[in-house]
Amino acid sequence: MITRYRNQRGSLMTEFASAFVLFTCCLMIPLINISVIPVRYVISFAMVSEVTRRLALAETRSQAIKLAAQPAFYQDFAKQFGIAMEPPTLSVACKDQDSAVVVFPDKKPIPAVWLPGGSRSGHCNYLLQTVTTVRIPPLFCFGPKIPALTAPILFNIGATAPWENLGCDPVTREFYINE
């Protein structure tokens, strides 16, 4: 009697297939999912910096505050990348030559000593600071809500830009940075 043995080639295919499925589902998909977050963070940091630069080019501080409150100003571009931005909070920082920094939040007027031509304003730099909360999701959001894996991460991103308009309104005699 002649016995035939089965061919052994390809016998490990079933073990390899199950291992490959586990490798793909448990390691590769989560890594691809997480790898999108740094890219979106860089995009959101650039967006906050650009928003800050545009706000610093406003004629008055009240116009910059109104512009920052408009969601169409920054959210249309952010939605293209799946990023959600909250309205930024604005403040003006005055930094003199002795490195003393005074921060004036939102609509708080700047005292006369810190305005251009004041006693503390010699070689003073005026910076517009913005801080906003950004929600950055991973590529796929599914299953239990685990931050960075299946749920968005919240970041507070801040940026500064030099305030451009240090002039004085000829009608009201107020500085544009204080209006």
Question: What are the pLDDT digits (tens) for 87-127?
Answer: 889 998 888 777 778 888 888 888 888 777 777 666 788 89
Query: What is the C-alpha to C-alpha distance for residues 27 and 37, in angstroms, rounded to an integer?
Result: 16
Rg (CA), the chain: 27
Please say if the pLDDT value at position 79 is more than 80.
Answer: yes
Question: What are the pLDDT digits (tens) for 147-156?
Answer: 777 788 999 9
Q: Long-range CB contacts (< 8 A, 24+ apart) of 15-18? A: none
Q: Determine the angle formed by the axes of helices 61-69 and 29-56, rounding to 10 degrees.
A: 150
Higher pLDDT, residue 122 or 169:
169
Considering only CA atoms, which of 56, 57, 44 is closest in space to residue 157?
A: 44
Please say if the pLDDT value at position 82 is more than 80.
Answer: yes
So what's the pLDDT on residue 131? Answer: 94
Q: Which amino acid is at 115?
A: L
Q: What is the mean pLDDT of the chain?
A: 83
* Residue 162's pLDDT band (cuts 50, 70, 90): very high
* Residue 157's pLDDT band (cuts 50, 70, 90): very high
Q: What is the share, in percent, of the chain residues with pLDDT greater than 70?
A: 92
Residue 77's SS3 state is helix
Question: What are the pLDDT digits (tens) for 27-38?
Answer: 888 888 888 889
